[in-house]
Chain A
Amino acid sequence: MQPNTTYSFAVYVSNVVNPDLSGVHNPIIQLYADDVALSEPFDVPLDSVSDQDQDIWTRLEQTFTTGAGQTSATLRLVDSATSSYGDDLAIAGLGVFACEPPYISLNLRAFLQGAYASSDGRMRDNLRQKSYLPLTQPYNDRQTITLGTKPPRLQYWRPVAMMPQWTGFWWNCATKTILPNGWRRLPLCCNVMVMWLTHKPTRLHCGSLR
């Protein structure tokens, strides 16, 4: 787990008890995180045993947020039913997931153009040399990427976006940028990039400024 991160705790429950029995008691389920109740008690309803279409699995889900420095949590599913008559429970599909900014996976190919210097086979980076270029992407805080002490020949930053929703994704192959989980590194290396995508990734451009 990561500190200051919201997690989803979900589980599916079903009442096993034969509904033909009279007076049976249902499981009463609550979700807890570190002994803090996340939900109100849920009375798991009886369901049909003869008609599978009428079988009921109820999804219980709650979220919790870790504190500063917190890297683990104890999650509990507690049955508070007090009767010994009934109270049989089936549990399936435990899930604990971090809630993350959205992302998608791409497999891109870029085409380079711009200030190519044939003398060394690399792109010009005049702007960076003159310290006109911020070493941290300036657009938003979705992804924080810093070029480090030995920046590549980066001329300017441009976002890579998948429409209709911006992803805030940043990439520079020369820095071997750490990509969000699920992203694939682009199969090329250039040190100045302009990349622009529509929802259908049909166009990608990579270049530099003089």
Chain B
Amino acid sequence: MTFPVSTTYTMSILAGIVCCSNIHAAQIIPASNQTGCPAETVYSQTNLAPNHDFSILNGEASPPNTPLSGGSWQTEAYYFGDNQYPADGSPGGSTNASIITTGHYQSTTLQWLFPGDPGHQIPALANFLYVNGNDKAAHSPHGRAP
């Protein structure tokens, strides 16, 4: 059985390089109107989403200019390369891009790593999936960080 998880994204900004740092606290905030497992039930111990932590980088699995996939999930945004800014207009002329980043992502902005959620027994993670826009909106170079 599979759980394909696809994403549909629009445009985005930013450019940068990969950096790394120590993991510190961050805020884990539950969105409102959420529903967890019903009363008198608990979460199973098996996560049915393989590569749910994006620990398997995708470089060999997804050729450039194709959807990024890893395990049971797939992005609608095209694969741009591991540990790179997923620029608008990826190789081959695609306007979608996505990436798995190892370490904190830093350019003129900085995305810290996921710090873990002890309340849900989720450990800190070294990787995350960075999704930039797609071609559903006009390309906008002004959206990039200077």
**A residues bordering B, Cβ < 8 Å?**
1, 6-8, 10, 12, 14, 16-18, 21, 24, 27, 39-40, 42, 47, 49-50, 52-63, 71-103, 181-182
Contact = CB atoms under 8 A, between A and B. Distances in A.
Interface of B: 1-14, 24-31, 33-38, 40-49, 52-54, 73, 88, 105, 108-115, 117, 120, 122, 125, 127-133, 136-140, 142-143, 145
B120 A10 contact: yes
Given A21-B13, A97-B44, A82 B2 contact: no
A97 B47 contact: yes
B8 A79 contact: yes
B110 A49 contact: yes
A12 B42 CA distance: 20
Contacts of A90: 105, 111, 114, 128-131
Given A18-B145, A81-B10, A94 B5 contact: yes
B29 A59 contact: yes
A62 B34 contact: yes
B43 A99 contact: yes
28 contacts: A12-B122, A14-B114, A40-B33, A49-B110, A52-B25, A53-B26, A55-B115, A56-B29, A57-B117, A59-B117, A63-B36, A75-B3, A76-B6, A76-B7, A79-B7, A82-B10, A83-B11, A85-B11, A85-B142, A90-B105, A91-B129, A91-B130, A93-B125, A94-B5, A95-B120, A99-B37, A101-B40, A182-B45
B27 A54 contact: yes
A13 B129 CA distance: 9
Nearest to B131: A89
B12 A84 contact: yes
Contact of A100 (B12, B44, B112, B133): B44
B28 A61 contact: no
Contacts of B49: 94-96
A181 B44 contact: yes
